[in-house]
Structure 1
Amino acid sequence: MPERSILGWLLIGLVAGVLGKVIMPGRDPGGVIVTMLIGIAGALLAGFVARSMGFAMESAWASYGAATLGAVVLLALYRVVVARRIG
């Protein structure tokens, strides 16, 4: 399955970044590119955490769900950090 490779997680991360932006709309200082990079980082983080906790991520739905959750969490953290730095 491609979801188990780094390339697979990068592709899932791009989708997760877009989904994270849909779930958390608003103006981000970095724009779409930063949102997609955060999605990739969230996907990689979610994949690492899920594997270390023993979750198999057998289905593509589980991979996309974990990646999207990771993207939303990182996007929220990014907004908090940037808001403190700007304001």
Structure 2
Amino acid sequence: MTAYLANHSWLGWIFVGFFAGLIARALTPGKGPSGCIVTVLLGVGGAIVAGYLGEQIGWYRPGQAVGFVAAVIGAVIILLVYRLFAGRR
């Protein structure tokens, strides 16, 4: 699994995921899913997305950890995609 916290504990995933999700929400104003758990999932998902895209582009090797900034960028991408599809309802 390629993610920011591949070598850390689940508590580290929650901690960094929460802050990455908070920053992503601050960078993308507007209505979106809310709550602490959703924020953590957003940040962790952002790290996973950043790791996958980074591998596809060639920035990361398989299994290499991505940085916090990449996790935030991945979370912003998730929020933008969510808003793209949620806006069509």
Q: TM-score normalised to the size of structure 2?
A: 0.65
What pairs with 1:43-82 in structure 2 (closer than 5 Å)?
43-56=47-60, 63-82=67-86
* 1:80 CA drift (Å): 1.2
1:31 corresponds to which residue?
Answer: 34
The answer to whether the Cα contact below 8 Å between 1:13 and 1:44 also exists between their aligned partners in 2 is: no
Number of matched pairs: 79
Residue 6 of structure 2 is aligned to residue 5 of structure 1? yes
Structure with bigger helix share is: 1
* 1:36 CA drift (Å): 3.1
Bigger mean CA offset, 3-12 vs 72-81: 3-12
Aligned CA RMSD, in angstroms, stands at: 2.9
Equivalent position amino acid for 1:10 in 2: W
For structure 1, the 5+ residue unaligned runs are none
Secondary structure of the residue that 1:37 maps to in structure 2?
A: helix
Q: Percent identity?
A: 33
Q: Out of 18, 21, 24, which is 1:20 matched to?
A: 24
Q: Could you say if the C-alpha distance between residues 42 and 6 of structure 1 is closer, same or farther in structure 2, counting changes exceeding 3 Å?
A: farther
For structure 2, the 5+ residue unaligned runs are none
The answer to whether the Cα contact below 8 Å between 1:17 and 1:38 also exists between their aligned partners in 2 is: yes
